[in-house]
Amino acid sequence: MTRIDFYILEGEQGGQTDGRLVACRVAEKAYLAGHKVYIHAADAREAERLDELLWTFRQGSFVPHQRIDGGTRADALTPIHIGWGDEPEVHDEVLINLAAEVPLFFSRFQRVAEIIPADEQAKQQGRARYKFYRDRGYPLETHTLAQG
């Protein structure tokens, strides 16, 4: 059964940019542990930002990744894919969800990481996703991350 981890950002910052940074850290950690990752962005613009951020979020880091656009075929050898909308072609280990809704394909993954920024709208959307998973009996873990 898919394990769901919620990463809740608290503090003065904690906006969408900080959510993307947490997504990059989670993706890097999963990659270094040998896992394949799919980052599910809200839209093409967010996917592009994540693509850029994975190259620059931490000095000296190397996180090999590929953004999957409508016409781009996923390279199964690339450990991290970034996409939005449609179900990914490959990878079923770790899903990092940055969209407001639960992706329809989440249950094919071993683990799901839900990133919840500190703003009120994101918290409300996160609560709805938490309830969705809880009501279906998925194992849930919550991690609170204090932001500077």
> What would the pLDDT profile of 50-102 be if each residue is shown by its tens digit?
999 999 998 888 899 999 976 677 888 999 999 998 899 888 999 999 999 99
| Contact assessment for residue 9 and residue 116, using Cβ atoms and an 8 Å cutoff | yes
* Cα dihedral 35→135→85→43 (10° resolution): -90
Give the domain ranges of the chain.
3-146
Phi, psi of 119 (to 5 degrees): -70, 155
Topology, domain 3-146:
Rossmann fold (3.40.50)
How high is the pLDDT of residue 15? 54
- Taking the C-alpha atoms of residue 98 and residue 26, their distance in angstroms, rounded to an integer, is 12
Question: In the chain, what percentage of residues exceed pLDDT 70?
Answer: 93
Mean pLDDT across the chain: 91
**Alpha-carbon separation of residue 114 from 32, 107, 111 (angstroms):** 19, 13, 10
Q: Is the pLDDT of residue 14 over 90?
A: no
